Structure 1
């Protein structure tokens, strides 16, 4: 029998390698609390949700699987109708449940589909640079339909504590309604109405971290073809090819169960021999600045 309570984060032994320094990852895990909720359905529990539970959600501070029915999987039953045209009602019901039962368990609240893969360590790095008491949310920012942009539903998005509070207040006050079946557009409209900022989740080289499709959609440059429609939705111009995606990518969507395990392996196990593992890019950047200053000083430059 599965326990229907939230599952607390445990650092999995198989993800540790001899001599590897995970000090900063552990520090972020302890100080950047992320509640992950996964949108699933009764028919997807064995085919999708089980594999999400076995892979990336093990790295969340807390995790909840949201469905129309309560089961021993475990899932939280939201008492909503299943179906694509019910996704926004399901989303608002899930956030309402979290606000009422788990608001104090985390500082950031991540929504993901049951075919989305996320790297929580990279997400925590992004979030560590922001205050959860500020009304802000992050994801793959698209530009049609909402003035400040909105976050792709498939790529996953994460609300700060204050953003979640304002989202719930929007429905209590009547400022936000179920005016559309399009989950991400409707949520983005409510965020803008409630003055929640659409944050920039790109890395320091302006490469995307959240992705609405699998890696090959972006990494493989499509020669002699018009620009892909999904790239034309991007709020920021995005390259195709190897420079498309951040080295600190957070999410990919439309990931099959098999690909979940592949990405888990690539993320936590694969290492190129002869390279020092770049576990702290900010530290590396500071080191490079110091090195340049030292070289300039020793060479007698200004």
Structure 2
């Protein structure tokens, strides 16, 4: 009697031969339909572009699906003197990918437009402006978005990657995400310059805490003050790293993080950084979300590198995603 291994081998051989035959027939039919009477590589050109179009369509479909399911309101901290030198370039680049984009300044500008918080300008006014801005979006946009992202006017954001991160979370739960620093409180807080995001539930809790004076103007250092309020409310900073434990929010230019040795060992960054990180190419996730201190030149460079530049034939070296969060975000 024929052994099981020989039988399996014969079945495998027959299956493989049938597969090759079917592929050959399909290839000949495609060649006949799209490249008959040509000997100049037209068929290869056709197949390449078909595969390229399938990849583009899959990426476009995912981005569009997320844009409907993960509604983000982005509000940008700015100032009257920065509208044309900084905020303008947010509008022209990444800001247009938010579901709602608002600019919060100390005074109204109906042409730009910017919403005035009736505050002064300068670093000592940042947290007051932040408190008023979150109260404003709560009053006027609560039902039009599920996530509320704060950025500076020199922050660059890859909004699609932010949406993918947020898609792992429930906006009806209190969620607080961004670049996590370790100082000043047990669970740390999120860097203001890299941008941070509150879920709808976290925003509701924050505004309620301001109204009942559970949270108030404790310090002019905006990101620390907001972190202290989140801590009082029991909203623990979430982990925005990808499945490989690589970070996605960054408080400096890309080159500061990507170039080995750029950030010296004595830099405050290493003391503040909540997670162990490296300086060099392995610093940053393929799903990086934000960088800070980006002038207009850097904004346009990031826009080109992210959405236009392609290397022919290059395939992603690894598949990257965000993990499903645990019940708590320790």
**Larger-Rg structure:** 2
Structure 1: unaligned runs, 5 residues or longer:
1-16, 286-302
The answer to whether structure 1 residue 262 and structure 2 residue 304 are counterparts is: no
Q: Of 53, 59, 83, which residue of structure 1 is paired with 2:122? A: 83
The answer to whether structure 1 residue 29 and structure 2 residue 64 are counterparts is: no
- The secondary structure found in structure 1 opposite 2:198 is strand
Q: Of 215, 219, 225, which residue of structure 2 is paired with 1:186? A: 225
Q: CA deviation at 1:174?
A: 1.1
Whole-Å separation in 2 of the counterparts to 1:215 and 1:225: 15
Aligned to 1:11: none
Whole-Å separation in 1 of the counterparts to 2:318 and 2:247: 19
Let me know the Cα RMSD of the aligned residues: 2.0
Q: CA deviation at 1:276?
A: 3.6
Whole-Å separation in 1 of the counterparts to 2:317 and 2:289: 16
Q: Of 163, 166, 171, which residue of structure 2 is paired with 1:124? A: 163
- Residues 69, 216 of structure 1: alpha-carbon distance in 2 compared, 3 angstrom cutoff: same
User: What CA deviation, in whole Å up to 9, does each residue of 1:72-102 have, x standing for no partner?
Assistant: 1000111111111110000000000000011
Contact 1:107 1:160 in 2 (8 A): yes
Whole-Å separation in 2 of the counterparts to 1:257 and 1:277: 29
Aligned to 1:111: 150
Aligned to 1:136: 175
- Which structure 2 residues correspond to residues 1-302 of structure 1 after superposition, within 5 A? 20-21=56-57, 22-71=60-109, 72-222=111-261, 225-276=264-315, 281-282=320-321
Contact 2:179 2:249 in 1 (8 A): yes
- Residues 222, 114 of structure 1: alpha-carbon distance in 2 compared, 3 angstrom cutoff: same
- The secondary structure found in structure 1 opposite 2:74 is strand
Whole-Å separation in 1 of the counterparts to 2:264 and 2:274: 21
Alignment size in residue pairs = 268
Q: TM-score, normalised by structure 1?
A: 0.85
User: What CA deviation, in whole Å up to 9, does each residue of 1:137-176 have, x standing for no partner?
Assistant: 1000001002111000000000000110011011111110
- Residues 143, 27 of structure 1: alpha-carbon distance in 2 compared, 3 angstrom cutoff: same
Q: CA deviation at 1:251?
A: 0.1
- Residues 208, 228 of structure 1: alpha-carbon distance in 2 compared, 3 angstrom cutoff: same
Whole-Å separation in 2 of the counterparts to 1:30 and 1:216: 33
Contact 2:70 2:167 in 1 (8 A): yes
Whole-Å separation in 1 of the counterparts to 2:155 and 2:317: 25
Contact 1:146 1:185 in 2 (8 A): no
Q: TM-score, normalised by structure 2?
A: 0.78
